[in-house]
Structure 1
Amino acid sequence: MAIATVNPATGETLTTFEALDEQELERRLQLAEATFRTYRTTSFADRARLLNRAADLLDEDREDVARTMTTEMGKPLAQARAEAAKCAKAMRWYAEHAESLLADEVPAERDVKDSGGSRALVRCRPLGPVLAVMPWNFPLWQVMRFAAPALMAGNVGLLKHASNVPRTALWLEDLLRRAGFPEGCFQTLLVGSGAIDAILRDDRVKAATLTGSEPAGRAVAATAGEMIKKTVLELGGSDPFVVMPSADLDRAAETAVTARVQNNGQSCIAAKRFIVHADVYDAFVERFVAGMAALTVGDPMAEGTDVGPLASEQGRADLEELVDDARRGGADVLCGGERPDRPGWWYPPTVLAGITREMRIHREEAFGPVATLYRAGDLDEAVLIANDSPFGLSSNVWTRQEAEVERFVRDLEAGGVFVNGMTASHPAFPFGGVKRSGYGRELAGQGIREFCNITTVWHGA
C-alpha cells in the first residue's frame, strides 16, 4: 500500500510520500536509543510541563488537525474536532497523574521483615524505545493514548502509522517537537507494513503496541514472542448491545444509532450486534431503524453530516461482502444495503435482521455503518448470543434491574461493560479486551505500567 493521502469522499490522491530508506531508518533508531538514555532521567515535573504545552498547542491547532483527519480518512469534521479535544484532555490527565500512578510502592513492614530485609520498595522504570503500530480510524486518539502515558513514564516512541494517514502522523511528530520534547522522543516512521518485522527485531526496540486487524496482531505477537518482547494488542471487536424489557427504549434506540455509526461505523468499540429481548424487540427495532434511516450521509466537512465515506475502497468492498453474504443467507435488510452511485467510498447506514450463525457477519467484524439484530427470549439467551463471538472488547447493556446488571457484569466476556450508556474510552479507565480482541490494557494506571520495568528493590537487614 502506498503511503499517501487519498480523500475518501472523492477517491482523489492528494499527496504521496516516499518511505524511509534503510539509512534514514537506522539514523532514527540510533536517535531513539540515544535520546532515551537522557530522557529517562528527566523528572515527572519536566515531562508534565512538556506534555501540557503540547496539549495547549493541540487546542490552538484543533481546527487544522481536524480538517487533516477528515481529509485523510473521512470522519465528520465535528467528530474530528472532538477527537482532537479528547487527546488534549488525555495529555493533561497524564501530566497530572503520572507521578502518583508510578509512585514507589512500599510493601508491608511485616513482609519485608519476613523476607529477611530491612526495607524494600517496588519502582516502575521505563523500558526504552517502544514501537507503536497504529490504525487510521482514530488517527490522533489511538496514538495519543499510547504516547501520553509512554512519554510520562520516561519511554520514547516510534510511530508506524497507517499508510493512509501520513499527514496526521507527521503532524503528531511536529506537535511534540514544537512543545519542546527532545529530538528523538517521538518519531514518525514513514514505512510500509513490511518494515515492521525488522524494526521489532531490532534490539534497540524494547516493546510494541498495536491497534489493528487480527492478522496484523498475530504477526506482531509472533515476532515479539520470538524476540521475547512485551506487547499490548487491541484487535477490534463486535460489541453486543443488549436491550432488556425494563430499558428506556427511546434512550436506548437513540444511543444505539450513535453507537453504531460513530466514526462512520469504523470503530472497534462501536456497538455492532443488537440483542433485544423478545418482549420489546418490535418496539426497539421500529425506533432504531427509523433513526438509522434518518441519518444524513454526505460531505464530512459539512457541519450537519452524520455519516461520511468509509476510509478506503477495500474497506467498503469488505463490508459489502459481509452484507451480501448475509442477504444470500436469508437476512432481511431493514434499511440501506446498497452502495450509492457517486465518487468516493460511500456506504449507507444499514440494518440487518434474521442473522444466523452460518453468516459471516455473525463471526466477523463489520467495520462500517452496518448493524445486526438478534431476538433473545430471555436473559440467558441474551448472554449466550452476546458471548457467541470470537471477540471480547466491550459491551453495552440496557436494563433498570440491578440483578440483571450483576448477571451481565459476571458473565459477559468482554473488557468492559457499559450500563445504560455507550461504550467510550476515557484516560481514567483501563481499555482493552479478551479473546481475539487482544490483551493488555491502555489508559489509566494499568496502561502507563504496561511499558515499565516493575523493579523490586530490597535491602538486607
Structure 2
Amino acid sequence: MAIATINPATGETLKTFEPLKDTEIAAKLNLANQAFEQYRKTSFPQRSLWLQKAAEILDQEKADFGKIMTLEMGKPYKAAIAEVEKCAAVCRYYAENAADFLADVAVKTDASHSFVRYQPLGVILAVMPWNFPFWQVFRFAAPALMAGNVGLLKHASNVPQSALAIADIFQRAGFPGGVFQTLLIGAAKVADLIADDRVKAATLTGSEPAGASLAANAGKHIKKTVLELGGSDPFIVLASADIAAAAATATAARMLNNGQSCIAAKRFIVEEAIADQFEKLLLDKFLALKVGDPMQPDTDLGPLATPDILQELDQQVQVAKQSGGKVLTGGHPISDRPGNFYPPTIITDIPLDAPIAQEEFFGPVALLFRVPNIDAAIKLANATPFGLGASAWTNNDEELSRLIAEIEAGAVFINGLVKSDPRLPFGGIKRSGYGRELSIQGIQEFVNVKTVWVK
C-alpha cells in the first residue's frame, strides 16, 4: 500500500510520502538506541513535565489534529476532536501516576532487604492501525515513555500525516531527540525491525493476521509482545433491561468510528420476549442517522477508511443474505456520491451455525439475533473465536452476576457502552490478543520486573 493521505469522503489523494530507505531506518534505530541510554536515567518528575507539555499541545491544537484524522480516515470531525482530548487525558493520567505505578515494592523475606523494582526495557516498536490514529498511539506511548522506554512508531500507511504529527508533538513537548520517532515504512519492513537486537519488544493493534505475523517473528527472537486484535463483540439485551436506553446505546455502540472499532458492538443478542420492541427502536434509530461529509457537525456517519474495506464489508453482507439473513435497512454501498460510504445496516435471521455469524463486520452493520433466555444469550455471545469486549443489559441482580462471570471477554460493561478508559486495563482473550494496555497493568507490560534480595 502506498504511504499517502487519500480522503475517504472524496477519493482524492491529498499527499504522498516516500518510504524510508534502509539507511534511514538504520539511522533512526541507532538514534533510538543511543537515546535510551540517556533517557532511562531521567527522573519521573522530568518525564512527567514533558508528558504534561504534550497534553497541553494536544488540547491547544485539537482542531488541527482532528482535521488531519478526519481527512485521512473519515471519522466525524467532532469525534476526531474528542479523540485528541482523550489523548491529552491519557498523557496526564500517566504523568500523574507512573511514579506510583512503578515504585519499588517491598517484600518480606529472610533477607535484610528485598523488593521488586520496575525498569525500562529499551526500544519498543509500536505497529498501529488507522482507525484511531492518535488514541491508539498515545495509549501506548504515554505509559511506555513514562516507564523510561523509547518508542518507534510504524503507523498504518493511510495515516502518515497523523504519524508525523504525533512525533512532532513529543519533540515540541521537550522529549530528547530519538525518544519517540515515526517510521514511514511498509509492513514488509516490520520483520526486520523485530529481528534487530536494538528492538526489545513490540506491540500491535490491528487485524488477527497482522498480529499473528508479528508474534511469530517476535517469538523467533524471544521478544515480548502485546496484541490487541479484532473483536465480534456481543451486545446482550435481556427482558429486564431498560429497552429504550439499550437501543439508543446500541446505535452509538455500532456506529462508533463509522463502525470501524474493535470494541464496537457487532452482534446484538436479544431475549425473545422484548425482541420486537428492541428491533423497532433500533431500526428507527438507524434510519434517523445522517450519512455525509464527516467535516460537517451534523454528520452521524462518515465514510469507511478505504475502498478495500468498503468492498470487504459489502461482500460479508451479501454472504449473510445468502446464508438466510434478512436486511431490514441498508445492505449495499451508497453509489450516488463519491467516497467509501456504506449505510447503516441491520441484518436479522442469520442461522446461528452460519460461519458469517461469528465474523467481525468492520463497518456500520448490525447483526440481530433472537434467543429464548439468558442461557442461550451467553452461549451465543461466547460462540466466537474473539473475546475483546461485551455489553450486557439487565436490571436483575442474578442475571448481572451470571453475565459478569460467564461472558468470555477482556471487558464486560453492564448497561453501558464498551469503551477504553485510562484508569482501567484494556485488552482481550482468545483470538482478540493478549496483554493489557492502560491502567497500572499497561505500564507494567514493557518493564523488567527485577527481584532484588540484599543480605
Q: Answer whether TM exceeds 0.5 for this pair.
A: yes
Matched, 1:280 2:274: yes
- How many Å apart are 1:330 and its aligned residue? 1.3
Deviations, residues 92-146 of structure 1 (Å, cap 9, x unaligned):
00000000011111113xxx12xxx211010000000000000000000000000
1: CA distance between counterparts of 2:300 and 2:272?
Answer: 30
Candidates 284, 302, 305, aligned match of 1:311: 305
Candidates 395, 401, 409, aligned match of 2:404: 409
1: CA distance between counterparts of 2:435 and 2:72?
Answer: 29
Conservation of the 8 A alpha-carbon contact between 1:122 and 1:454 = yes
Equivalent position of 1:255 in the other structure: 249
- How many Å apart are 1:327 and its aligned residue? 0.7
Deviations, residues 336-392 of structure 1 (Å, cap 9, x unaligned):
112111211110010000112454431211000000011110110000000000100
Residue 117 of structure 2 aligns to a residue whose secondary structure is strand
Residue 321 of structure 2 aligns to a residue whose secondary structure is helix
Equivalent position of 1:367 in the other structure: 362
Equivalent position of 2:5 in the other structure: 5
Candidates 373, 377, 392, aligned match of 1:378: 373
Matched, 1:139 2:133: yes
Conservation of the 8 A alpha-carbon contact between 1:137 and 1:266 = yes
Note the residue ranges of structure 1 that are not aligned, 5 or more in a row.
none
2: CA distance between counterparts of 1:349 and 1:385?
Answer: 23
Conservation of the 8 A alpha-carbon contact between 1:48 and 1:96 = yes
- How many Å apart are 1:24 and its aligned residue? 0.6
Matched, 1:157 2:151: yes
Matched, 1:425 2:420: yes
Equivalent position of 2:321 in the other structure: 327
Instruction: Percent identity, please.
Output: 56
Counterpart amino acid of residue 10 in structure 1 = T
1: CA distance between counterparts of 2:352 and 2:277?
Answer: 24
Deviations, residues 298-332 of structure 1 (Å, cap 9, x unaligned):
00000000000000000001100100001111100
Note the residue ranges of structure 2 that are not aligned, 5 or more in a row.
none
Q: Which range moves more in the overlay, 129-138 or 351-360?
A: 351-360
Conservation of the 8 A alpha-carbon contact between 1:131 and 1:207 = yes
Counterpart amino acid of residue 29 in structure 1 = L
Counterpart amino acid of residue 300 in structure 2 = D
Residue 68 of structure 2 aligns to a residue whose secondary structure is helix
Residue 319 of structure 1 aligns to a residue whose secondary structure is helix
Equivalent position of 2:114 in the other structure: 120
Residue 171 of structure 1 aligns to a residue whose secondary structure is helix
Equivalent position of 1:98 in the other structure: 98
Equivalent position of 1:298 in the other structure: 292
Structure 1 length as normaliser, TM-score? 0.98
Conservation of the 8 A alpha-carbon contact between 1:243 and 1:252 = yes
Equivalent position of 2:349 in the other structure: 354
1: CA distance between counterparts of 2:355 and 2:148?
Answer: 44
Deviations, residues 377-424 of structure 1 (Å, cap 9, x unaligned):
011000000000010000001001111111011111000000000001
Equivalent position of 1:219 in the other structure: 213
2: CA distance between counterparts of 1:329 and 1:153?
Answer: 50
CA pair 136-165 structure 1, distance change in 2 beyond 3 A = same
1: CA distance between counterparts of 2:296 and 2:355?
Answer: 34
2: CA distance between counterparts of 1:78 and 1:382?
Answer: 35
Counterpart amino acid of residue 434 in structure 1 = I
Equivalent position of 1:387 in the other structure: 382
Matched, 1:86 2:86: yes
2: CA distance between counterparts of 1:339 and 1:272?
Answer: 19
Deviations, residues 139-159 of structure 1 (Å, cap 9, x unaligned):
000000000000000000000
2: CA distance between counterparts of 1:26 and 1:288?
Answer: 53
Residue 120 of structure 1 aligns to a residue whose secondary structure is strand
Structure 2 length as normaliser, TM-score? 0.99
Matched, 1:185 2:179: yes
Residue 396 of structure 1 aligns to a residue whose secondary structure is strand
Counterpart amino acid of residue 36 in structure 1 = F
Equivalent position of 1:459 in the other structure: 454
Counterpart amino acid of residue 346 in structure 2 = V
Matched, 1:107 2:107: yes
Q: Which range moves more in the overlay, 55-64 or 355-364?
A: 355-364
2: CA distance between counterparts of 1:360 and 1:190?
Answer: 37
Residue 369 of structure 2 aligns to a residue whose secondary structure is strand
Deviations, residues 19-48 of structure 1 (Å, cap 9, x unaligned):
000111000000000000000010000000
CA pair 360-343 structure 1, distance change in 2 beyond 3 A = farther
2: CA distance between counterparts of 1:173 and 1:340?
Answer: 36
2: CA distance between counterparts of 1:235 and 1:81?
Answer: 24
1: CA distance between counterparts of 2:166 and 2:415?
Answer: 35
Residue 379 of structure 2 aligns to a residue whose secondary structure is helix
Residue 351 of structure 1 aligns to a residue whose secondary structure is strand
2: CA distance between counterparts of 1:363 and 1:376?
Answer: 16
Counterpart amino acid of residue 326 in structure 1 = A
Equivalent position of 1:35 in the other structure: 35
2: CA distance between counterparts of 1:431 and 1:403?
Answer: 26
1: CA distance between counterparts of 2:323 and 2:288?
Answer: 27
2: CA distance between counterparts of 1:318 and 1:360?
Answer: 16
| Aligned length in residues | 454
